[in-house]
Amino acid sequence: MAAAGCLLSRLEEFFAMREVYLDNSATTQVLPEVAALMHKIHTGTYGNPSSPHRKGVEAEKVKRRARRTLADACSVKEGEIYFTSGGTEANNLAVMGVARRLRRRGLHLVTTQVEHPSVLYACRLLEQEGFTLTYLPVDRDGVVSPAVVAEAVRPDTLLVSVMHVNNEVGAIQPVAEIGGLIKKKNSGTLFHVDAVQSFGKLPVQPMLWQADLVTFSAHKLHGPKGIGALYKRQGVHLEPLFHGGGQEDGLRPGTENMAGIGGFAEAVRLAMASLPAHAATLSRLKESLLTGMLASIPDISCNSPKEGAPHILNVTVAGMRGEVLVHALEEEGVYLSTGSACHSRRPELSHVLLAMGRREKEVEAALRFSFSQINTEEELAYALEKLRVAVLSIRKATRR
């Protein structure tokens, strides 16, 4: 009897201490292999790649290898990858860099209403500098029509910026079709794709997409935070955001984040080595959580498109406030998000769900689950049960 009691309390302890992290679109855990390599760079190959001595040459080799890993992962040339401090900087550099460099050729840019704030805020800034922006609508699945993009392209359009996978709902934009139509309409218009949420999960193919610029970030694929990259097709010229040294061909001056660069490349190497297997795991996890939610929680609806990315599931639990559920689940060790993590601490309604035609009440009640290949079915079963109990008890309390 005493043994059974002891076992029960040990089980309770186990469940009480559980951590189920389902906010992988906000950021991911750094993999041990990545952390180990970063430690080696911090303590061993710590030279400045600009130094002419052996420590510098060693560091330069690390950087070159990393650049090659990224270039190979998306079938582009090594010299077309530029390291930045993350996706935000790469998006800013692409959008503002094109506009400021080419302003004598035109003043018009096109984007969508569902881009990440690092694109949208850069666009707003350009409007203040005298540029004209067109923000294209999306359908109920969050997808922009390629024909509508092509229609928006004018003779003076400098750039079109469309993300690959939306970070809030997982909508996949038809970037290959969009790229083809843009170039057909105006071969001088540049095409930028924010591939932060797709890199390492779906094939990223700048050449196939006819993209001139593509953004990447390490921390969404189990790499470190504060490191990203921009693919810039050879022959495209940008105005840098920073000024100083000649690093990254002067496009991104500043002493390189060497541990970040090495860690990024290791994370990419690991992701690319198992991309199809990971994508299959993510799809299975997403499908199983959605099926479980629809079966066990009344009045829940899915905001993510059926054909969306395998790792993002956005749902609305009618009558609830998303943030209340996020905090209730946090108490049980389950971590998820109400909307986009980059700005979810602010009580702003998701611009993505609003653009998808959801009503304010539906947007307030939205939750985003985002998966990694290191999540398990068992973790999802735990999260589902905790969500079910939280929803039922909140609904019961508010009915009183």
Q: Give the interface with ligand PLP as residue ranges (CB under 6 A).
A: 86-88, 91, 116, 118, 163, 167, 194, 196-197, 217, 219, 228, 342
The answer to whether 189 and 200 have CB atoms below 8 angstroms apart is no
If DSSP states are collapsed to H, E and C, what string results for the chain? Answer: CHHHHHHHHHHHHHHHCCCEECECCCCCCCCHHHHHHHHHHHHCCCCCCCCCCHHHHHHHHHHHHHHHHHHHHCCCCHHHEEEECCHHHHHHHHHHHHHHHHCCCCCEEEEECCCCHHHHHHHHHHHHCCCEEEEECCCCCCCCCHHHHHHHCCCCEEEEEEECECCCCCCECCHHHHHHHHHHHCCCCEEEEECCCCECCECCCHHHHCCCEEEEEHHHCCCCCCCEEEEECCCCCCCCCCCCCCHHHHCCCCCCCHHHHHHHHHHHHHHHHCHHHHHHHHHHHHHHHHHHHHHHCCCEEECCCCCCCCCEEEEEECCCCHHHHHHHHHCCCEECECCCHHHCCCCCCCHHHHHCCCCHHHHHCEEEEECCCCCCHHHHHHHHHHHHHHHHHHHHHHHC
What is the C-alpha to C-alpha distance for residues 148 and 241, in angstroms, rounded to an integer?
31
Active site residue 342: yes
State which residue, 86 or 305, has the beta carbon closest to ligand PLP.
86
Least distance between ligand PLP and beta carbon 262 (Å): 17
Least distance between ligand PLP and beta carbon 385 (Å): 28
State which residue, 38 or 342, has the beta carbon closest to ligand PLP.
342
State which residue, 228 or 292, has the beta carbon closest to ligand PLP.
228
Which residue type does 191 have? F
Least distance between ligand PLP and beta carbon 310 (Å): 16
Least distance between ligand PLP and beta carbon 43 (Å): 25
User: CA-based angle 223:165:258, to the nearest 5?
Assistant: 25
Least distance between ligand PLP and beta carbon 381 (Å): 27
State which residue, 104 or 345, has the beta carbon closest to ligand PLP.
345
State which residue, 261 or 320, has the beta carbon closest to ligand PLP.
261
Least distance between ligand PLP and beta carbon 164 (Å): 8
Closest alpha carbon to 25 in 348, 277, 374, 341: 341
Least distance between ligand PLP and beta carbon 338 (Å): 14
**What is the number of the residue whose Cβ is closest to ligand PLP?**
87
Closest alpha carbon to 74 in 201, 185, 167: 201
Measure CA 74 to chain center.
Answer: 16
Which of 6, 74, 123, 342 is an active site residue? 342
State which residue, 173 or 210, has the beta carbon closest to ligand PLP.
173
Least distance between ligand PLP and beta carbon 393 (Å): 31
State which residue, 194 or 266, has the beta carbon closest to ligand PLP.
194
Q: At what angle do helices 258-273 and 54-73 cross, to 10 degrees?
A: 30
State which residue, 87 or 179, has the beta carbon closest to ligand PLP.
87
Closest alpha carbon to 269 in 42, 73, 31, 59: 73
Active-site residue list = 342
